[in-house]
């Protein structure tokens, strides 16, 4: 911006009189590009936020407490607030499904990994809701590519409301076996 300071002259009464001819007026701002109103926006998958808690909260809390019994009605809000506000987590929902994925880095690996923690369908027995899960997994794939991830993992397929073969097809993944030792037993 090219603006000059106004030169001040003294009037006969002793008051300051600015010389406005020495001031340059800034140019008009550039015109904004017109908005594209012809291309429809894709709002089929949106982030899970605090405004979703009244409708989705009790159902999500019930489903999460099946796998994590420490998540009760009293602690659900604080757990959810941490998931919503964390940039290393992708907490998204569609019309009939909800998904949580987290970005993590394994020791000595150059590139990070994304783990899908859960994906719940609103009605797990309705096959028409499988398309919602497919949309959510597609968004996880897009997010993972954008942040430079190498692998997308599902460590606990029992937390996904999709048959294992269908999930493998959706993710275009190969089947790997995981060895897990339970230290509480």
pLDDT score at 12: 65
Q: Does any domain span residue 133?
A: yes
The tokens for 25 are: 């007026």
So what's the pLDDT on residue 83?
93
**Residue range 156-178, pLDDT digits in tens:** 889 999 888 888 888 888 776 66
pLDDT band, very low/low/confident/very high, at 182 (cuts 50, 70, 90): low
On whether residue 182 sits in a domain, the answer given is no
pLDDT digits (tens, 9 = 90+) for 60-73: 999 999 999 999 99
Query: Taking the mean position of all CA atoms in its chain, how far away is CA 149?
Result: 15
Residue 159 lies in a domain: yes
In a domain, 24, yes or no: no
In sequence order, which residues have a C-beta less than 8 Å from that of residue 110 and are 6 or more positions away? 150
Percent of the chain with pLDDT over 90: 49
Examine the pLDDT at 2 and tell me if it is beyond 60. Answer: no
Residues with Cβ < 8 Å from 183, sequence gap 6 or more? none
Cα-to-chain-centroid distance, residue 97 = 15
Q: Tell me, what's the pLDDT at 34?
A: 86
Report pTM: 0.74
**Residue 61 falls inside a structural domain:** yes
CATH value at residue 161: 3.40.630.30
Beta-bridge mates of residue 45 = none
pLDDT band at 10 (very low <50, low <70, confident <90, very high): low
Q: What pLDDT is attached to residue 91?
A: 96
More confident residue, 134 or 173: 134
Total domains, the chain: 1
92 vs 33, more confident: 92
Q: Is the pLDDT of residue 15 over 80?
A: no
Residue 35 lies in a domain: no
pLDDT of 180 strictly over 90: no
Report the chain's mean pLDDT, rounded to a whole number: 85
Q: Residues near 9 by Cβ (< 8 Å), separated by ≥ 6?
A: 16, 17, 18, 19
Model confidence at 14, pLDDT cuts 50, 70, 90, reads: low
In a domain, 38, yes or no: no
> Concatenated DSSP letters for the chain?
----PPEEEE-TTS-EEEEGGGPPPPPPPPPPPPP--SSPP--SSEE--GGGHHHHHHHHHHHHHHH-TT--TTTHHHHHHHHHT-TTEEEEE-SSEEEEEEEE--TT-SS-EEEEEEEEESSTT-GGGHHHHHHHHHHHHHHHHHTT-SEEE-S-GGGBSS-HHHHHHHHT----------TT-
Which DSSP string corresponds to 108-161?
Answer: T-SS-EEEEEEEEESSTT-GGGHHHHHHHHHHHHHHHHHTT-SEEE-S-GGGBS
Highest mean pLDDT among 132-136, 165-169, 177-181: 132-136
- Does residue 127 belong to any structural domain of this protein? yes
Domain span at residue 140 reads: 46-171
Q: Which residues contact 28 (CB under 8 A, 6 or more apart)?
A: none
């Amino acid at each position: 911006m090219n603006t000059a300071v106004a030169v001040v002259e003294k009037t006969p009464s002793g008051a300051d009189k600015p010389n406005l001819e020495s001031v340059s007026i800034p140019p008009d701002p550039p015109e904004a590009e017109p908005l594209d109103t012809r291309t429809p926006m894709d709002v089929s998958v949106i982030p899970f936020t605090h405004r979703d808690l009244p409708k989705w909260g009790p159902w999500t809390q019930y489903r999460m407490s099946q796998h994590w019994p420490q998540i009760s009605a009293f602690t659900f809000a604080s757990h959810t607030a941490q998931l919503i506000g964390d940039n290393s987590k992708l907490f998204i929902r569609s019309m009939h499904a909800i998904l949580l994925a987290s970005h993590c880095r394994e020791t000595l690996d150059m590139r990070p990994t994304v783990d899908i923690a859960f994906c719940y369908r609103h009605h797990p027995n309705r096959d028409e809701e499988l398309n919602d899960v497919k949309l959510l997994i597609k968004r996880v794939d897009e997010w993972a590519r954008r942040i430079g991830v190498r692998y997308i993992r599902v460590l606990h397929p029992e937390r996904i409301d999709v048959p294992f073969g269908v999930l493998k097809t959706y993710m275009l993944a190969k089947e790997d076996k995981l060895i897990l030792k339970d230290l509480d037993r």
